[in-house]
């Protein structure tokens, strides 16, 4: 893989993956990062990478829904592999405005697959990043496996399910070498502050209310983002073409437990001025429509076949994540204020 296209590389997981590939992995090729720079895409996440790896990193502001532009990039840069992160990915936003999810997650994926098919003679791999949400909701027992039937419950998860099926179809119909990974909830550095964990960290640090949907008993499996990046690269290197791999964090927790753990860690580090416990800031709010009860990933296939397992427990990962947000207040404020958008306009128009 000499010329890898990474889509959505300025987003949370994509930026961490680009960093991992260039700074820590055995990847020796060039990365072409294509990102539309929507609200959660921030090229400042990789500003130092752009400086330090000038010969191996190229950023292009472009929309994967623009089929002609994608074709041009494949041709110009001799793309021989793809790691496809780019997606609209926030459930609440998909409920309010589903059309953007249909366009980006389905049409955008189709455009990339078509460009890859046209250049199939040199394509080593098309790896597609998906989510455990395509499987729907679990009861209090059982786990999602790679053979769990799809049953998406939100416009977001339905659009991701559609893109998964397209990717698999291009393998079956055209023989395009593909792999798919369905991951559980990621957390870690550079995550946009609207997501649960960074929102709770920042609000709790500042003594603001901590909104929790419903009764807080919805269960998620939490995956530290660097563990996810290692899993992706492992799949891309030694995974079997045509196969799907579930990636889980082995950290199944109720949302309320996550919030309480963050509160307790921050109380250890920095007590509130009025002496209250941060748990007193927890505020239960009206549940969102179609809120899945529980997700839990069985990643035994990935463990058995490719010898991957997460290195971070939730306890260690959440402490590192909290510390990162405390140490990067400037980044937080630029994202919250929208200041990063001015930087984007100045540099990329």
pLDDT tens sequence across 56-68: 999 999 999 999 9
CATH number at residue 93: 3.40.50.720
- Indicate whether 68 belongs to any domain: yes
Structural domain that includes position 160? 3-192+222-250+293-313
- Indicate whether 207 belongs to any domain: no
Number of Cβ within 10 Å of residue 68's Cβ equals 9
Q: How confident is the model at residue 113, as a pLDDT? A: 98
Q: How confident is the model at residue 68, as a pLDDT? A: 98
Whose structure tokens read 């786990």?
A: 143
- Indicate whether 263 belongs to any domain: no
Q: How confident is the model at residue 92, as a pLDDT? A: 73
At what angle are helices 314-327 and 196-206 packed, to 10 degrees?
A: 60
Q: What angle (nearest 5°) sits at the alpha carbon of residue 10, between those of residues 7 and 12? A: 100
Q: Is the pLDDT of residue 138 over 80?
A: yes
- Indicate whether 344 belongs to any domain: no
User: Across the strands, what pairs with 252?
Assistant: 221
Q: How confident is the model at residue 349, as a pLDDT? A: 64
Residue 173: name the closest of 181, 165, 185 by CA.
165
Q: How confident is the model at residue 12, as a pLDDT? A: 96
For 328, the token pair is 């990067």
Q: How confident is the model at residue 288, as a pLDDT? A: 83
As a dihedral over the C-alpha atoms of residue 336, residue 339, residue 341, residue 344, rounded to 10 degrees, the angle is -130
- Indicate whether 336 belongs to any domain: no
- pLDDT single digits (tens) 269-278: 988 888 899 9
Contact predicate 258/295, CB 8 Å? no
Residue 225: name the closest of 266, 182, 191 by CA.
191
Q: Is the pLDDT of residue 346 over 80?
A: no
What are the DSSP calls for 25-47, one per residue? SS--SEEEEEE---TT--GGGGH
Q: How confident is the model at residue 188, as a pLDDT? A: 98
Q: How confident is the model at residue 78, as a pLDDT? A: 98
At what angle are helices 155-174 and 109-118 packed, to 10 degrees?
A: 10
Which of the residues are catalytic?
132-133, 156
Cα→Cα distances 135→97, 143, 149, 153, 197, Å: 22, 10, 6, 9, 22
What are the DSSP calls for 157-172, one per residue? HHHHHHHHHHHHHHHH
- pLDDT single digits (tens) 219-270: 999 999 999 999 999 999 999 999 999 999 999 999 999 999 999 999 999 8
Q: How confident is the model at residue 123, as a pLDDT? A: 98
- pLDDT single digits (tens) 197-206: 999 999 999 9
Mean pLDDT of 101-108: 94
- Indicate whether 326 belongs to any domain: no
**Which has the minimum average pLDDT: 90-94, 179-183, 307-311?**
90-94
- Number of structural domains (the chain) is 1
Q: How confident is the model at residue 180, as a pLDDT? A: 98
Task: Mark out the alpha helices in 175-297 (DSSP H runs).
Answer: 196-206, 225-238, 255-269
Whose structure tokens read 């250049």?
A: 119
d(CA 4, CA 44): 21
Torsion angles phi and psi, residue 344, rounded to 5:
-60, -45
- pLDDT single digits (tens) 185-198: 999 999 998 889 99
d(CA 62, CA 47): 17
Residue 163: name the closest of 108, 117, 215, 211 by CA.
108
Global pTM reads: 0.94
- pLDDT single digits (tens) 1-54: 999 999 999 999 999 999 999 999 999 999 999 999 987 789 999 999 999 999
285, with CB counted inside 10 A (0-12, 13-18, 19+), is exposed
Q: How confident is the model at residue 190, as a pLDDT? A: 96
- Indicate whether 64 belongs to any domain: yes
**Which has the minimum average pLDDT: 43-57, 286-300, 306-320, 333-347?**
333-347
Q: How confident is the model at residue 321, as a pLDDT? A: 98
Torsion angles phi and psi, residue 131, rounded to 5:
-135, 155
- Indicate whether 274 belongs to any domain: no
Q: How confident is the model at residue 259, as a pLDDT? A: 98
d(CA 320, CA 79): 35
């Amino acid at each position: 893989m000499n010329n890898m296209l990474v889509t959505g590389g300025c987003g949370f997981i994509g930026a961490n993956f680009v960093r991992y590939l260039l700074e820590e992995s055995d990847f020796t090729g060039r990365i072409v990062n294509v990102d539309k720079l929507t609200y959660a895409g921030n090229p400042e996440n990789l500003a130092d990478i752009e400086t330090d790896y000038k010969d191996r990193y190229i950023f292009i502001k472009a929309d994967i829904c623009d089929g002609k532009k994608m074709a041009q990039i494949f041709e110009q840069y001799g793309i021989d592999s793809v790691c496809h992160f780019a997606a609209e990915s926030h459930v609440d936003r998909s409920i309010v405005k589903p059309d953007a999810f249909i366009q980006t997650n389905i049409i955008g994926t189709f455009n990339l697959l078509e460009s890859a098919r046209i250049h199939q003679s040199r394509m080593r791999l098309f790896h597609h990043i998906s989510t455990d949400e395509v499987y729907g909701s679990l009861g209090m027992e059982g786990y999602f496996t790679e053979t769990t039937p799809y049953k998406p419950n939100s416009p977001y998860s339905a659009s991701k399910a559609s893109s998964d099926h397209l990717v698999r179809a291009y393998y079956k119909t055209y023989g395009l070498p593909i792999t798919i990974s369905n991951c559980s909830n990621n957390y870690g550095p550079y995550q946009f502050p609207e997501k649960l964990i960074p929102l709770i960290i920042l609000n709790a640090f500042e003594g603001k209310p901590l909104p929790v949907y419903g009764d807080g008993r919805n269960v998620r499996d939490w995956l530290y983002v660097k563990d996810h990046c290692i899993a992706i690269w492992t799949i891309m290197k030694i995974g079997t073409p045509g196969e799907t791999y579930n990636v889980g964090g082995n950290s199944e927790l109720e949302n309320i437990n996550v919030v309480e753990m963050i509160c307790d860690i921050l109380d250890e580090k920095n007590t509130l001025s009025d002496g209250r416990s941060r748990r007193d800031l927890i505020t239960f709010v009206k549940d969102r429509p179609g809120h899945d009860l529980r997700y839990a990933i069985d990643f035994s296939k990935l463990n058995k076949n490719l010898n991957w397992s997460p290195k971070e427990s939730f306890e260690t990962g959440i402490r590192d994540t909290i510390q990162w947000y405390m140490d990067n207040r400037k980044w937080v404020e630029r994202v919250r204020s929208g200041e990063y958008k001015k930087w984007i306009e100045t540099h990329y128009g």
